[in-house]
Structure 1
Amino acid sequence: MDIALCYESVLPNRGGCETYIADLSRRLARDGHRVHLYACRWDASALPTTMHYHRLHVKRGLRFLRPWRFAQACEDALAQADHDVTIGFDKTWGQDVLYPQGGLHAASQAYNRRKFPNAATRWLADLGKLLSPAPWSFARLERKQYLGPNRPKIVVNSRMVQRHFEEFLEIPADSIHVLPSAIDPGRFEPMNRLVLRNQERSDWGVEPSETVGLFVAMNYRLKGLAPLLHSVAKMERGVPFRLAVVGHPKTGRYEQLAAKLGISDRVKFLGFRADPKSAYFGADFLVHPTFYDPCSLVVLEALACGLPVVTTAFNGASELMHPGEDGFVVETPHDHAGIAQAMTRLCDPSFRAAAASKARQTGQSWTFEQHYQGLLRMFQDVAVRRRAA
């Protein structure tokens, strides 16, 4: 098949959807499909050598207008092409399939309010949104994407997002296909894993007796780093535990919070890593107390590495877990005591060993190959319908 992928920026070392697109394009290319990328920028070294690139030139300017410009550029470019299937992953329209890896903006905005622990700060945040043109613009764009005259086939990566389409756009759940996200497990199978683990822990200054919880994110605020630090402060001092933080290089405010909470000695800020793989190997479990994640890829990566996971019910990836067996799912990031209790439980070596074994099973039960075959069947169906039309 001739397949076109549309996403503004594909730099896989930033993680998330960009890593997923790289995994998907490599798998499609391996099967002999002709794969096209419509984007403004990309890292060709992380993409298949047979990829066909179509650079879209989009004027910069006001942030809330940029998605409109990119979506229009996609529509114009695709009108001049003849692909079997076209797929968009974010704020675009006109493709055959829309697979919003980031979920609905309307839902994200509603969940984002929960970052603020009290009613007063939430009220101020709501006021700021009312005064900003971006939420209005993105809400209108989503209605154009999903409620226009030529409606796309909608694929979502969790039942949570499926519910959001019903709640925010009144699109019936039975018309939305749920296909959980997946990662290429081949990226996490080096022969020298034990060597990498020992090297990482040595670099972190971690004792062999210490348990390491790993936090990986670029958006520290949305992914719950602040409540996580409060949770670490609630853990008993006698528990040999360290938290390793990987992601955005700017950590000043969080280092200050750790100092204020008296836990600076228990938190290691590792900064940005183009590939966090070795960090997974150096850790004992992942903790991801997010306020909103349609289906977090870092959770899937951790499970593939055999790491138990602590996350929240606001993460669609929690639907793939078995709470109490391969990790824990807490109701909200603000449940500091609940997160602290979960991390403390995973500091017990015997429990953690059993949880790690179950985590590996969970990671293997939903594979990238299963995900890929489901997506491919959908593409084939779309291609048949296009030819019939």
Structure 2
Amino acid sequence: MRIAIINRIFSRTAGGAESYAVSIAEELAGRHELHVFAQESNEPVPGVTYHRVFCLGQKPRWLNQLLFALSSWWLTRKGFDVVHSHENTWHGQVQTIHVRPLRYNLLQGKRGWQRAWAWLKVWTSPRLATYVWLEGARFRRARERRIVATSTLLRQECELAYPACRKHLSVITPGTQLQQDTMTRTVARRKLDLPFDVPLLLFVANDYKRKGLDALLKALALLPAEVQLAVAGKPASIPRYEQQARELGLASRVHFLGSLDDLVPAYRAADCLVHPTLEDSFAMVVLEAMSHGLPVVVSGPVHCGISRELQDGREALLLHDPRNSADLARLLRSVLDTSELADHLRQHGLAFAQAHTWERAAIEYEALYQQVLSPDSP
């Protein structure tokens, strides 16, 4: 098939949604002719044809999103068997939804004047009106359209926001690569300039606040002094959290690694991944950590999509309130102090990861593409 992939930033380091798009494209590239339409890309997948999409400027973001949708529609309107969009666009027979719908955030649970007030805010704001219109166009009913949510939690939110999409909505969760790397913990820590002989927690996120670093720093202050933390992700928020670490007396115990093109050394260096997220549609980082044999402490199913598929105490330890630093510290201490528990989580987490590969996800997308090409087939 000749497939167009629409993703405004096509790069693994841009975030979870972007990494998902790259990984799916990587699996498909060997079997199909792929064309990627993006404003920014470090061209991470060999064998793919890249097309740069017009960008007037990154701000205001809503205007750039509208211009990107218009430009990518013009470029992909002819010549492709399937157009697959990971962005807020009105075109694309396959639409992958990565984040909670804006309509859900604006309207869920609101009635009467509250709902009317929310709509008034939308239609008096060019920014909100543009996003709501583009999002609505993604969910518009069409015979050949297929909509994909990246977790069961996100699917439920999409159905509540757009009930008419139920028939064309499916779930394809992120996957992971089965790991062949043999890098030792000592080599990994040397590579990242981390201390060799201490218990080391790992936190990976670009949005430090939304993914729970505030609570994690407070939890770290409750753990023994030898326990340290490595933080990987976009560096924009580092000064703020360095200050917070100093105020908590943790300056020497927290290591900010910034953005890493390759997270393998970080996973190999750590003793446990911590993901106390306040909101996550899935949390690919949890699955990746499991594939490297790391025990995981993660927010429960109310806050994190992947946790709906995990058993507490089997594949991971689930944190019911990600703002509760004392509970988080208790769970982390149990993993660090009890080798039997850590081994149990490591074994079952690895088995879970091995059942969720990118190859599996790509095969599911190929089945959707075939449905798009033959929309009347059963």
Q: Same fold (TM over 0.5)?
A: yes
1:212 to 197, 200, 205: 200
2:323 to 328, 334, 345: 334
Partner of 2:85: 88
State the identity %. Answer: 27
1:346 aligns to what SS in structure 2? helix
Residues in 2 aligned to 1:132 and 1:225: alpha-carbon distance in whole angstroms: 32
Partner of 2:112: none
- AA aligned to 2:233 is G
Q: 1:148 to 1:69 in 2, by over 3 A?
A: farther
1:271 to 258, 261, 271: 258
Partner of 2:38: 39
2:249 aligns to what SS in structure 1? coil
* Offset at residue 228 of structure 1 (A): 1.4
Matching of residues 139-178 of structure 1 within 5 Å: 139-147=132-140, 152-171=145-164, 173=166, 175-178=168-171
Q: TM-score, normalised by structure 1?
A: 0.84
Q: Is the 8 A contact 2:188 2:265 kept in 1?
A: yes
Partner of 2:30: 30
2:174 aligns to what SS in structure 1? coil
- AA aligned to 1:213 is L
* Offset at residue 72 of structure 1 (A): 1.3
Matching of residues 41-190 of structure 1 within 5 Å: 41-44=40-43, 46-48=44-46, 50-60=47-57, 61-79=59-77, 81-107=78-104, 133-147=126-140, 152-171=145-164, 173=166, 175-185=168-178, 188-190=179-181
- AA aligned to 2:320 is E
Residues in 2 aligned to 1:172 and 1:64: alpha-carbon distance in whole angstroms: 24
The answer to whether 1:233 aligns with 2:221 is: yes
Residues in 2 aligned to 1:172 and 1:6: alpha-carbon distance in whole angstroms: 21
The answer to whether 1:192 aligns with 2:190 is: no
* Offset at residue 106 of structure 1 (A): 4.1
- AA aligned to 1:311 is V
Q: TM-score, normalised by structure 2?
A: 0.87
* Offset at residue 132 of structure 1 (A): 6.4
Q: Is the 8 A contact 1:182 1:300 kept in 2?
A: yes
Q: 1:226 to 1:377 in 2, by over 3 A?
A: same
Is there any run of 5+ residues in structure 2 with no aligned partner, and where?
A: 109-117
Q: Is the 8 A contact 2:335 2:342 kept in 1?
A: yes
* Offset at residue 136 of structure 1 (A): 4.0
1:385 aligns to what SS in structure 2? coil
Q: Is the 8 A contact 1:231 1:337 kept in 2?
A: yes
Residues in 2 aligned to 1:280 and 1:109: alpha-carbon distance in whole angstroms: 37
Residues in 1 aligned to 2:107 and 2:205: alpha-carbon distance in whole angstroms: 20
Partner of 1:13: 13
2:344 to 344, 350, 354: 354
- AA aligned to 1:2 is R
2:232 aligns to what SS in structure 1? strand
2:5 aligns to what SS in structure 1? strand
Q: Per-residue displacement from partner, 1:157-200 (whole Å, max 9, x unpaired)?
A: 11110111122223464542011111333xx4223345533525
1:87 aligns to what SS in structure 2? strand
Q: Per-residue displacement from partner, 1:259-311 (whole Å, max 9, x unpaired)?
A: 22223333222222222210100001111111221111111110110112111
- AA aligned to 1:164 is E
Partner of 2:230: 244
2:211 aligns to what SS in structure 1? coil
Q: Is the 8 A contact 2:297 2:332 kept in 1?
A: yes
* Offset at residue 110 of structure 1 (A): 9.0
Q: 1:132 to 1:330 in 2, by over 3 A?
A: farther
Q: Is the 8 A contact 1:22 1:47 kept in 2?
A: yes
Q: Is the 8 A contact 1:330 1:338 kept in 2?
A: yes
Residues in 2 aligned to 1:272 and 1:335: alpha-carbon distance in whole angstroms: 27
Residues in 2 aligned to 1:11 and 1:191: alpha-carbon distance in whole angstroms: 25
1:287 to 262, 266, 274: 274
2:261 aligns to what SS in structure 1? coil
Q: Is the 8 A contact 1:23 1:184 kept in 2?
A: no
Residues in 2 aligned to 1:54 and 1:226: alpha-carbon distance in whole angstroms: 39
* Offset at residue 63 of structure 1 (A): 1.6
Residues in 1 aligned to 2:229 and 2:293: alpha-carbon distance in whole angstroms: 18
1:264 aligns to what SS in structure 2? coil
Q: Between Structure 1 and Structure 2, how many residues are aligned?
A: 360
Q: 1:90 to 1:108 in 2, by over 3 A?
A: farther
* Offset at residue 90 of structure 1 (A): 2.0
Residues in 2 aligned to 1:215 and 1:335: alpha-carbon distance in whole angstroms: 17
2:297 to 307, 310, 317: 310
- AA aligned to 1:342 is L
* Offset at residue 324 of structure 1 (A): 0.8
- AA aligned to 1:146 is F
Residues in 2 aligned to 1:101 and 1:320: alpha-carbon distance in whole angstroms: 17
